[in-house]
Structures are given as C-alpha cells and as structure tokens.
Amino acid sequence: MKITDARVVVCSPGRNYVTLVVETEDGLTGVGDATLNGRELAVASYLRDHVCPLLVGRDARRIEDTWQYLYKGAYWRRGPVTMAAIAAVDVALWDITGKAAGMPLYRLLGGASRDGVPVYGHASGATLDELAEDVQRHLDLGYTAVRLQASVPGLETTYGIAGEGVYEPADAPRPHEAAWESSLYLDFAPAMFARIREDFGYRVHLLHDVHHRLTPTEAGRLGAALEPYRPFWMEDPTPAEDPSAFRALRGHTTTPIAVGEVFNSIWDCQQLITERLIDYIRTAVSHAGGITHMRRIASLAELYGVRTGPHGAGDLSPVSLAAALHLDLAVPNLGIQEHMGHTGPYTEVFTHAYTFRDGYMHPGERPGLGVEFDEAAAECFPYEPRYLPVNRRLDGTVHDW
C-alpha cells in the first residue's frame, strides 16, 4: 500500500489548524493533526520541507517503521515541532490502516476497555456568580466533571476565562501581555472551590488548571488549601521541566496532580511517572508523537498506577480529539479526557463521528478515525497569524503563562 502523496493544509475555521493529508495508491486517505498553537507554520514547514517528500513511496501499513524512521532518521531528537510532525504522520497512517481494515481505530488498539470515555468540560467566569452559572450549564449538558477557572480579583486578566463560545488564548497577531501576581491568586483559588462546593456539593468532579505559574512551595500550599474541597486534580501546578520540583511539591499535599500537556515524548514523562510524582499524565496524541508513542506513555504510566488525562483544548483539532477518543476507549488506565470543544465554522471543514452524551464521549464506529477533512472548504478559511499571550508579574518580570 504505497503512499502516493502527502500534503499539509493550514486553515482557520474559527482558529488556526494544521492538517496533514496522506494518500495511498489504493485511493485511501488518512489525516493527522499537526497544530501547535502559536507555532503552526513551523510544523507545517517541518512536514512540507522535510517529511512529506520522504513519505512518498513508503508502505502506509508500516506505521512503527515509519515512526522510527522519522524519529531516529532526523538525528535531532524530540521537541514540540518535531514530535507534532511525527504525530500527524502517525495518526494519518493509523487512519489509513483502520480504513483498509474496515474497522474503527479503537478495535485495532485492542478493542473497548469501557463503554464510553469520561470527559470534563471547561467552566469559567469573570465572577464567582458567573462561574457557578457556567458550572450549572455544564451539569445541564450532562457533564459530571468540570474545570473551574475564574478571574482573580486585583488582576486585569486571568487565564482560562471564556467569553462567548470556547476560550481561545491565541487571540492576537502579536502576543498581548498579561499581568500576573501569584499572591493574589493563592488567596483567591480556595475561595473559588469553597463557593462551588457550597453551591453544588461533592457530586461533581472539580478540576483546576494552575497553568505552570507557581513555585513548588506555593503549589504545595495551594494543594493543601484545596484538600477539603477534594479536587479531581490540580493541573500544571509548577513548571514541569524540572521533575525534582514535584518531589518537593508531593510532600506537601495529597491533592492529585496532573501534568504533561507541554510534553512531547515519553522521556519527558518518565521520572514523574516512575517516581509516582503525579497522578495523571496529560500528553496529547497530536503533540506527543501520535498514537504509536502515546500507547507507550500510557503503558509506562499503567505500571506505576498513573492514569491518562489527555489534553483536549480547542487548539487541538477534531482530528486530534478523535484520535484521543479511540486511544482513550482502548487503554486500561484512562483517567479522564479533556473536552473544551471547538468554536466557529470548524464543522464546515471537519466532519466527525465522535459523540458526547451524559458526560461521556465515543469515537464512533466509522473505519479509521471517523473524521473527514474537506480541503476545498478549508481554502475558504486562510491562516491568520495568532500568538499566545506573554505573562509578566506586576513588577514587569516575564512569568510563565
């Protein structure tokens, strides 16, 4: 089954997406998501200039060999651009293989380990009243798990506050600068949880994304302060480049910790998993080398009692979400899947078989991924330069966003 063409489409139906399309001599087509928020064109170039020409003529069924060829053959290892490009190829080849077999992808991955994939939605608000209203809206939609993000009193803007539709942080042609002060946040976050537990009790799982902004000691203080409210997880409490920071953090709190959406390989995750410094690993299929590599991460995590909690923000395309759902359905140690949803006219470009119902999602039974990509429609939505914000502390120091 030789590959006859591989091409990259950058489009912006509501936000920028990078989609790889791979075709075979048998007329089968597979798609992969290569979107890296704020650096889309870098991955598009890596694919167009250095990968797609090498794919033509290869056997589309040799998924593992292609992964090894692209990973080891590049000599230069790992990194978000390289691993997003490899991920897109990997997912496209899995899509083709599923279509050739006439089976939905999850059946090629060992079949369903559960009836549906538990997901969490994003609730946010400029005030605690607005946040409570948004939590209620999610409960009315059937979610049983909700992420809480609210404006921090004293800060002009805060991460994660959606206006109309889905929160999209890459909202300007040049990075806008946001102000941050951890002390204001640390005083506020426990009050946010207290209010939502007071309004809704303990029947709903509550998650929160710290978004890399605290020191290990501050994160330990926050985790301890949140314990009475039983968070499902505290996400990215401190920058994850230094796994030893989590040893310090782990000693201060029993609040479950989720890390990994900025990771792109199993080696990024290895120490956090094997030392049980985290409870959930959040790597995404489209950022961490595709299904082939994510299966390895999930298997390593399973050995140490760590569950998966894959990243699923709106800047990961429907192709990525579909791939995640197939893997989520099959792996034995799934924790929960993020489901921020997508916004704008994306359905004019991406049609998908996945469904949401009563807090669970399912990838559907269509062969392969179950996602179709309309290249003609994509041409109506050209790329628009968009960058993620830069954070500065109130004294002007650049800080983690």
Nearer to ligand CS2, 71 or 232 (CB): 232
What's the closest the beta carbon of residue 388 comes to ligand CS2, in angstroms?
6
**Could you say which of 19, 37, 264, 337 contacts ligand CS2 (CB under 6 A)?**
37
Which residues in 171-230 contact Mg ion (CB under 5 A)?
209
Which residues in 203-262 contact ligand CS2 (CB under 6 A)?
209, 211, 261
Phi/psi at 310 (nearest 5 deg)? -55, 140
- Size, binding site for Mg ion by CB under 5 A: 2
Q: CB of 206 within 8 A of CB of 197? A: yes
Nearer to ligand CS2, 19 or 97 (CB): 19
229 among known catalytic residues: no
Residues in the chain: 401
**Amino acid sitting at position 181:** E
Residue 90 binds to Mg ion (criterion: CB under 5 A): no
**Residue-wise over 202-219: b if at least 16 C-beta within 10 A, else e?**
eebbbbbbbbbbbebebb
Residue 268 binds to Mg ion (criterion: CB under 5 A): no
Which residues in 288-317 contact ligand CS2 (CB under 6 A)?
311, 313, 315
Distance spanning both ends of the chain, measured CA to CA: 45
Residue 40 binds to ligand CS2 (criterion: CB under 6 A): no
Which residues in 167-196 contact ligand CS2 (CB under 6 A)?
169
159 among known catalytic residues: yes
Nearest to 342 by CA among 137, 172, 167, 135: 167
Which H helix or E strand runs over 257? strand 257-259
Rounded CA-CA distance 28/21 in Å is 10
Which of Mg ion, ligand CS2, none interacts with 10 (beta carbon under 5 to 8 A by kind)?
none
The two structure tokens encoding residue 317 = 């395309």
Which H helix or E strand runs over 356? strand 355-357
Residues labelled as active-site residues: 159, 211
Contact positions toward ligand CS2, by CB under 6 A? Answer: 37, 169, 209, 211, 261, 311, 313, 315, 338, 340, 388
Contact positions toward Mg ion, by CB under 5 A? Answer: 209, 261
